[in-house]
Amino acid sequence: MRIVIAGGHGQIALRLERLLAARGDEAAGIIRKPEQADELRQLGAEPIVLDLESASVEDVAERLAGADAAVFAAGAGPGSGAERKETVDKAAAILFADAAVRAGVRRFVIVSSMGADPAHEGDEVFDVYLRAKGEADAYVRGLDALDWTILRPGQLTDDAGTGLVRLEARTGRGPVPRDDVAAVLAELVDTPATAGLTLELISGPAPVSVAVKSVAGN
């Protein structure tokens, strides 16, 4: 498979690119800064330099042409203000989804956040973030041309992955290593029977492949 990942230099995306390349898939990561390209190449991924905050739908669709799946793993990051939550976490996600439709890429996985809700109230930056993620999720759900899956991890950690997770429509809050989020994403892109599902993810008792198979088709 050829899989194009938005936010290709993010912490989850770098892990995902390594996993995909190791299993023989063709991974391509969209990055903003040319100086990040070598790090992707070292992982076995193809770097695509493109700023999703200024690109057009046509620009992104051109980069998605020929892909088997698209993964939105971009984020403004914890140090960013409310404005970039709107331009990256919401607008770039919507742009990437529209570009996937334009390019004819049906399989679409978006990394969201537990608690994402377009009706979330509050004026703090994190409130804006949860609202932006919720609005992006709602938009993707409305696109019949996509076989979408929305993944909502709990509290992200840099602990070593265990390969054991809980993946359900509702898990309750909890931590999950970024390693395990990447492993679940790699499994999801390869499991189209999870299309149409919004799934929460935390550490748990089930091996990743078992957890994904158990929700597939539900």
The domain 2-216 is placed in CATH, from the list 3.40.50.970, 3.30.565.10, 3.40.50.720, 3.30.470.10, at 3.40.50.720
Token pair belonging to 107: 């399989």
**71-106: pLDDT as tens digits:** 999 987 777 888 889 999 999 999 999 999 999 999
Model pTM score:
0.96
**159-216: pLDDT as tens digits:** 999 999 999 999 999 999 999 999 999 999 999 999 999 999 999 999 999 999 999 9
CB neighbour class for 205 (10 Å; exposed up to 12, middle 13-18, buried from 19): exposed
pLDDT-derived band at 218 (thresholds 50, 70, 90) equals confident
**10-28: pLDDT as tens digits:** 999 999 999 999 999 999 9
Q: Where are the domains of the chain?
A: 2-216
Report DSSP state, residue 124.
Answer: S
C-alpha–C-alpha distance, residues 149 and 192, integer Å: 9
> What's the residue count for the chain?
218
Residues 6+ apart with CB under 8 A from 195: 107, 147, 148, 149
pLDDT at 77: 79
Region 132-149: mean pLDDT is 97
Token pair belonging to 109: 């996985």
Nearest one of 17, 1, 8, 10 to 105, comparing CA atoms: 1
Angle at 205 between CA 199 and CA 207, to 5 degrees: 75
Is residue 153's pLDDT more than 90? yes
